[in-house]
């Protein structure tokens, strides 16, 4: 299906402030960028680099005053996310090299402290996909998805002590549990069609059965309509913007996602 997604960020900048943005979705094996726009107002010099996870990152210095970033994308994405009940666990020695960093604990996913909890959640399930599904199911049952409840980014350990969480928190918990079972897991930030309320979204992917599969503890079923903007170990790696120096004010943020007809520009 084709989707048109937009993200608008509006800042009040007191003094010239360096920023990193991560707002350019890439064409990958599950999505194809047909059209893309990226507008800085006012226009300032910006450079782009590829981070260690393959994300395109934009570096710039925001000038004092009002500063806004407006991105949009027309993108073709899968109608449904693949599922694979029964897909087997991949023995660590057989994992591709590039998946190994996603086995290590990270800022918001202290997988080193989740061995016991993860083992208990997946007791009785076959190693692999079904374990991931059991983890997602557990998170859904024990945590109430509460958009807007997350001012501060909290880690999987902290999430675990609460009953309400945002998408990011639930992804962190899922990732921490998968890694504790030696299943590579990574964070995805992106757009999701029909999200209520509309916002940027976060979910995770786990590597089982020889490929990455999508898991989303916030959704009852794995509908498609997903656009991946960035991949990383957790929210620290995939912040859509990272700002250095004194905090600046985010005046507003607006996200839209709509289905569209196949373009014929």
Q: Examine residue 50 and tell whether it contacts a second copy (CB under 8 A).
A: yes
Q: Examine residue 219 and tell whether it contacts a second copy (CB under 8 A).
A: no
Query: If you search the block for the tokens 């557990």, which residue do you land on?
Result: 138
Helices 129-142 and 167-180 meet at what angle, rounded to 10? 140
Stretch that binds a second copy, among 25-33, 126-134, 135-143, 162-170 (CB under 8 A): 25-33
178-217 residues near a second copy, rule: CB under 8 A: 182
Q: Examine residue 107 and tell whether it contacts a second copy (CB under 8 A).
A: yes
Stretch that binds a second copy, among 45-53, 125-133, 158-166, 202-210 (CB under 8 A): 45-53
- Minimum distance of a second copy from residue 193's CB (angstroms): 19
Helices (H), the chain: 115-121, 129-142, 156-159, 167-180
Q: Which is nearer to a second copy, 121 or 176 (CB)?
A: 176
The CA–CA distances, whole Å, from 136 to 9, 71, 114, 121, 132 equal: 31, 31, 15, 10, 6
Q: Examine residue 126 and tell whether it contacts a second copy (CB under 8 A).
A: no
Q: Examine residue 35 and tell whether it contacts a second copy (CB under 8 A).
A: yes
For residue 42, the number of C-alpha atoms closer than 13 Å in the C-beta half-sphere is 10
CA–CA distance, 247 with 122 (Å, rounded to integer): 42
- Minimum distance of a second copy from residue 182's CB (angstroms): 5
Q: Which residues bind a second copy (CB under 8 A)?
A: 18, 20, 26-29, 32-39, 43, 45-52, 54, 56-61, 70, 72, 76, 91-93, 97, 100-101, 103-107, 110, 112, 153, 182, 236-237, 242, 244-245, 262-265
């Amino acid at each position: 299906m084709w989707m048109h997604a937009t993200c608008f960020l509006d800042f009040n900048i007191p003094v010239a402030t360096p920023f990193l943005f991560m707002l350019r979705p890439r064409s990958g094996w599950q999505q194809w960028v047909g059209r893309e726009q990226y507008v800085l107002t006012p226009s300032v010099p910006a450079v782009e680099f590829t981070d260690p996870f393959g994300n395109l990152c934009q570096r710039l210095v925001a000038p004092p005053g009002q500063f806004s970033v407006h991105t949009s994308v027309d993108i073709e994405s899968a109608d449904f996310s693949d599922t694979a009940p029964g897909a087997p666990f991949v023995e660590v020695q057989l994992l591709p090299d590039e998946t190994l960093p996603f086995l290590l604990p990270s800022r918001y996913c202290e997988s080193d402290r989740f061995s016991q909890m993860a083992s208990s959640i997946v007791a009785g399930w076959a190693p692999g996909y079904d374990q991931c599904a059991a983890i997602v199911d557990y998170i859904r049952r024990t945590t109430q998805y509460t958009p807007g409840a997350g001012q501060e980014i909290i880690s999987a350990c902290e999430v675990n002590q609460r009953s309400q969480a945002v998408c990011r928190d639930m992804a962190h918990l899922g990732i921490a549990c998968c890694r504790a079972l030696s299943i590579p897991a990574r964070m995805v930030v992106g757009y999701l069609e029909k999200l209520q309320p509309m916002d940027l979204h976060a979910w995770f992917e786990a590597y089982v059965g020889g490929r990455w599969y999508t898991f989303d503890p916030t959704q009852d079923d794995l509908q498609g309509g997903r656009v991946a903007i960035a991949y990383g170990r957790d929210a620290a790696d995939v912040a859509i913007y990272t700002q250095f120096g004194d905090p600046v004010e985010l005046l507003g943020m607006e996200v839209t996602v709509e289905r569209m007809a196949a373009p014929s520009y």
